[in-house]
Structure 1
């Protein structure tokens, strides 16, 4: 059966799972993956959307909903609640208004799981990693691919996505069960987790990206094209050639690894299809769109932290780790600072923060990141509790915060779009949680907690007697 993806919810033609570029086409009905592979299933899942769903089912991480659900608000409410309670990924098999059960909906493809040891399980499965992979392991996998030679996709003559095709006047987007996701949304969003595919006029760069698309009429979607984003850069190249339209495709049901790549800040000019090939270790199978395209026919934010880390290392800044906490919607990024190297720079807080801001806030990796936080060696930047503890105890409001208004912004942040300032510029800050002594390489302080304030033999004794003293196990 065909499928939709929200919070992301996705509308996916049923047999489009192996195609990376294709139109919105209904597909043949099937309920299990038909993909055969010599790879273990959890590895094959990164290359095939239906195998991915099958693996979630085997993990006990899929809620198959057989009762009828309404795409008007009900689906959106279920998906929103799933994301808030870290519930199972929902697969809606009976969507109101679908013709002969042709379309299904799938949601929360990249949301978190409730079990702490498998918290990032869905993202791990999207990259062929073990279900208990850490966030650090996930980031390392995405970055390793950038050091490998790119693998261009393999273009096939045909594929399952061509089993059912609709052309010209037969296309009517209103007939698809596109959801109204919440009461104040702008309309029905057919596109939330598919890939937009755009190519430069000279065909040197093919960009994949994820951004929402709302039904405008029977044949058109309307999308936000933000200044500085790759889709706007490619659009501007077509405009510079006097064109008012450009070739475009929307692919749904793509390999999960491709979805994560499309949502990541891949450098300008790098084609995501080649990056994904390097990421998964083999070329992606793709199918060209039917028909002739003329000149006149027409992104899991938190992964950006690793891109920012690489950028800062390239500029020889003393940053050893970076993490964008999911609790902040990835609008914060915590940086670990090597204070020994920082001392060698013989700099001061303002000079260092200004230099860092010029590099970071003018780069695409910081498009969504509005607050950078600096921490020394004793703070675990991958632990949100540590981040908050250090922020509220080490960063003096005003004095240790450096504001930057002459840099690109992310207008969709509510305090930018609905606030008092210019929505297109600024809204960025560095919160310096380093003590002045750390700029001199000194560590004349220590935190007070169970791990750092007691000798090992005392901690071992407390741990071993914990439950016998009447406490719950931890």
Structure 2
């Protein structure tokens, strides 16, 4: 597979422009809802990604790229932004993107290479020189608790003993000129490392990098298991080390080509109110703010004319589906294959807001009955870290393309017997799943379901068989003849 990794966010923006995936917006746009409403409409149509050049009350020269990995209006290559982000050919179909990305956990890690200087050091601001409110930070959804400075950048933290460096995407709300409110979920890697710093009673240094290689943003959404260093895994994916530079006020290392780097420490005592925020399930729970640790800022470095990415989460599809959903499906596909289950493909339909996982079965490899197989698949999925995020698994024959929502809905409606649904109680879940009640959110446990839509194995006698009544059931020669002469 022709890998062509894009080694900076700037290069990604340039390549998107080449493929007509960007529209520059030169008129003044308000950061208060207007910018995000434009981004939301870009997802919904879909349209090219809006690149805002002139944002009200913001430092001139600072730009914003909305919908960085939204779906493309390009009918032939709807997943072009995902493919480019992963360094894969633009015509790679969705299931093949998942297939390629499913091999990520098996790469040979290549540690980052520390360099003396990088583009992110073109401008340096320390302490009082910093005013985050002058950045083009959007007020995103109606009902949000504040302006969100991070929706698609990466947070870098390191365990106190230096053994584990974590790169992840986690939302961060603006609090003041030099303070931010960061969501730290105890079960996530960021939460585990924060706990280690609390145990030794020291503030945790962090670096927030806005605008990193598209591949780094993709890996930051990948549920890798164990205490692995994303910076080494992405090097393995690229086949060469990624370049990093030292921070100004801590010894953390950040991608050298980052557009903006915000450095500081996370308070152990000071809590500030964060949220609510429109979530990937598609809802803003107004009135649901909660106390989170205060992120104090000590330095900010940035490229000349930096470009900030903004993802506007909510009703699908946005980066939650195209980045995280594809990564979850890839991670689960890797696990199911390793466990020897006869699966063909895994996919999280974009429209399902990461609440459905579709698994197709290679019937030629099937050794057990349908019900047992569906149970084994569900069991294996829910036992994984990636599977903890997904509450519903739909198991289908491989005549269905799991990335084609029309086929998935048709198969679910016509092949699933309601009495063949299997319920599994007390399963681990991310507290952001749409329908959880307060108790389930607190305990991070819920009921999950497996929808067995497998057709009966060899149930029909030779003279009574089922044929799909559709265009694709006609002889191939006839189909090709009709397609060729369609215009006539």
Tell me, yes or no, whether TM beats 0.5: yes
1:102-140 residue CA offsets vs partner (Å, 9 max, x unmatched): 311111110111122121111222223333222234234
Cα RMSD for the two superposed structures:
2.8
Secondary structure of the residue that 2:76 maps to in structure 1? helix
How far apart are residue 417 of structure 1 and its match?
A: 5.5
How far apart are residue 205 of structure 1 and its match?
A: 1.6
Partners of 2:153 and 2:209 within 8 A in 1: yes
Partners of 1:416 and 1:423 within 8 A in 2: no
Q: Does 1:405 align with 2:428?
A: no
Query: More displaced, 135-144 or 301-310?
Result: 135-144
Q: Does 1:264 align with 2:288?
A: no
Q: Does 1:372 align with 2:333?
A: no
Partners of 1:321 and 1:336 within 8 A in 2: yes
Q: Does 1:249 align with 2:207?
A: yes
Partners of 1:195 and 1:252 within 8 A in 2: yes
Counterparts in 2 of 1:423 and 1:115: CA distance versus 1, 3 Å: farther
Number of aligned residue pairs: 418
Partner of 1:327: 351
Secondary structure of the residue that 1:165 maps to in structure 2? strand
Match of 1:91 among 39, 43, 51: 51
Counterparts in 2 of 1:163 and 1:459: CA distance versus 1, 3 Å: closer
1:86-107 residue CA offsets vs partner (Å, 9 max, x unmatched): 11111111110013x1311111
How far apart in 1 are the matches of 2:21 and 2:408? 30
Partner of 1:23: none
Partner of 1:138: 97
Partner of 1:59: 19
How far apart in 1 are the matches of 2:441 and 2:19? 47
Q: Does 1:301 align with 2:324?
A: yes
Going by fraction, where is strand more abundant, 1 or 2?
Answer: 2
Partners of 1:151 and 1:282 within 8 A in 2: yes
Counterparts in 2 of 1:89 and 1:438: CA distance versus 1, 3 Å: farther
Counterparts in 2 of 1:418 and 1:394: CA distance versus 1, 3 Å: farther
Partners of 2:167 and 2:229 within 8 A in 1: yes
1:33-432 matches, cutoff 5 A = 43=4, 46-99=6-59, 101-239=60-198, 241-243=199-201, 245-292=203-250, 297-298=265-266, 300-302=323-325, 303-342=327-366, 344-345=367-368, 347=369, 349=371, 351-397=372-418, 399-416=419-436, 424-432=444-452
How far apart are residue 150 of structure 1 and its match?
A: 0.9
1:391-440 residue CA offsets vs partner (Å, 9 max, x unmatched): 0001123x122222311112212212679987721142111101353799
How far apart in 2 are the matches of 1:212 and 1:190? 8
How far apart in 2 are the matches of 1:289 and 1:422? 36
Partners of 2:431 and 2:440 within 8 A in 1: no
Secondary structure of the residue that 2:102 maps to in structure 1? helix
How far apart are residue 60 of structure 1 and its match?
A: 1.6
How far apart are residue 186 of structure 1 and its match?
A: 1.6
Partners of 2:53 and 2:61 within 8 A in 1: no
How far apart are residue 458 of structure 1 and its match?
A: 4.4
Structure 2 regions of 5+ residues with no counterpart?
253-263, 267-319
Counterparts in 2 of 1:142 and 1:422: CA distance versus 1, 3 Å: same
How far apart in 1 are the matches of 2:481 and 2:487? 12
